[in-house]
Amino acid sequence: MGPATTGEAIHVEPAPASELVNPYARPVGPATIVIFGAAGDLTKRKLIPALCNLWSENLLAQGCAIVGVGRTALDTATYRKRVAEDVAKYATHQLPPSVVEDVISRLYYVAADFTDPASYALIAAELSRIDAQHATGGNHLYYLSTAPEYFAPIVEQLGAAGLVEESNGAWRRVIVEKPFGVDLESARVLNADLRRVLREEQIYRIDHYLGKETVQNILVFRFANGMFEPIWNREYIDNVQITVAESIGVETRGGYYDTAGALRDMVPNHILQLLALVAMEPPTSFEAEAVREEKAKVLRAIQPMTPERVLTHTVRGQYGEGSVDGRQVAAYRSEDRVPRGSHTETFAAMQLSVDNWRWADVPFYLRTGKRMARRVSEISIQFRRPPLLLFRNTPVEHLSRNVLVIRVQPDEGITLRFGAKIPGPSVRMSNVAMDFRYKDHFQQAPSTGYETLIYDCIKGDPTLFQRADMVEMGWAIVAPLQEVWSALPPRSFPNYAAGTWGPKEADELLERDGRKWRRIE
């Protein structure tokens, strides 16, 4: 049998209009959302547009206000004008002018030094005035959209100013952006610094990947569909592949990226969270702690890497010059603010093993990289092949694996590939696909990925946020790789051309097991 071809996707009817109503029954309670780093890139590109989307869907209370805190010397009027321009540029879809006006009318700015106690006295006075004006109930959500070195100092100053104390029924919560540390030891130190001021219940460690609809749908897909959960184990699944690839390079972030690299930037947080959702046992309920505990059990069950295993079961790479989308691009070492002899990896791949009853002997292959052939994040569940015995007297030479692909971005959806007989007198087979796409079935406006996370934090639901122990377990899993890779500088960098799927050693990682990476078109 020749190369498999993909047949026509099976049509899925759009959801009825009655099913497209926002599932949330009511807006979250009143609150003041305080964004530290208000003049930064994340705030203008993601956070403010996310708040506009929540407001347009009536998911924020009337008693809602937003306070931007930044080191840039601005007043509220200037900041509002700047935000209005940013929303016009970065909104995920066309918003009614009234929505933008309502959000901006609730927006304020405080210029502050993040380490100066006097600045927090100004913040406290402004919050007191705004709470009274907008009837927020004294509820405060502090979003730390700053450089990581400010996380602990900001929380310490908030504590010293009495701004995280909960009284008279008001709550105080803190969202901490990644990177949450740079290794296991720094993550432990940061956790300890935060918990000297805050209770664990007040800390929301955010991973924006978990705000994506497809990621959240993994739980529903697995546990609400009786056809999949019985076969979600070592008896039926041959291997699991998780790919998080970007076609872009480091752009203007060369200085930061060269201190991070692909491993630290993506694996301990995004990719291990995806793995945990795929591999977790059914929780007793969808309550936050039930879900988070099952995810934590998966991370605890990942077999620790020995130095020898790091050498044989992991691959690192760095892109050289090449072609992406028909355009010539420079090598990593030629990027702005990247040292010419940099040893920082822009690609990482590995095989991990989940050492429990469900997943024994099922390899989990992970890969992530910059300047790859295309931008895609997906989870590929590769099922075991059935015996060929039944087809021994037919032209069928081999049976392809059934593959379930969960596409996280950019084309969110789920595809199931399986074999079907080609019409004709002889038994010949081809691969066909059942294809579900969010944009076709649920005609919803595009989002930033932060809407659900901000909504859940105001609501007090930590399900999609990481606990302290989960963060530390993620770093513990990659710690052996960090140690070996730092001790043994790479000899072959750059070792893959921009616009490809990484170094040949990543292919060999699977080929020696008789497997291949799923071909991504």
Which residues are catalytically annotated? Answer: 270
Cα–Cα distance, 347 to 328 (Å, whole number):
19
- Nearest Cα to 498, choosing from 257, 249, 250? 249
Which residues, listed in sequence order, are joined to residue 32 by a DSSP beta bridge? 65, 140
Cα–Cα distance, 52 to 64 (Å, whole number):
12
For residue 71, the one-letter residue type is R
Contact criterion met (CB below 8 Å) for 40 and 10:
no
Cα–Cα distance, 502 to 347 (Å, whole number):
7
Q: How many CA atoms, within 13 angstroms, populate the side-chain half-sphere of residue 109?
A: 20
Contact criterion met (CB below 8 Å) for 454 and 50:
yes
Cα–Cα distance, 27 to 14 (Å, whole number):
26
**Angle CA 207–41–122, to nearest 5:** 95
The encoded tokens of residue 1 equal: 């049998």
Residue where the block lists tokens 């991070």: 260
What is the residue-wise DSSP string for 423-492?
SSSS--EEEEEEEEEHHHHS------S-HHHHHHHHHT--TTSB-HHHHHHHHHHHHHHHHHHHHS--SS
- Nearest Cα to 501, choosing from 247, 248, 330? 247
For residue 452, the one-letter residue type is T
Cis peptide before 395 (omega within 30 of 0): no
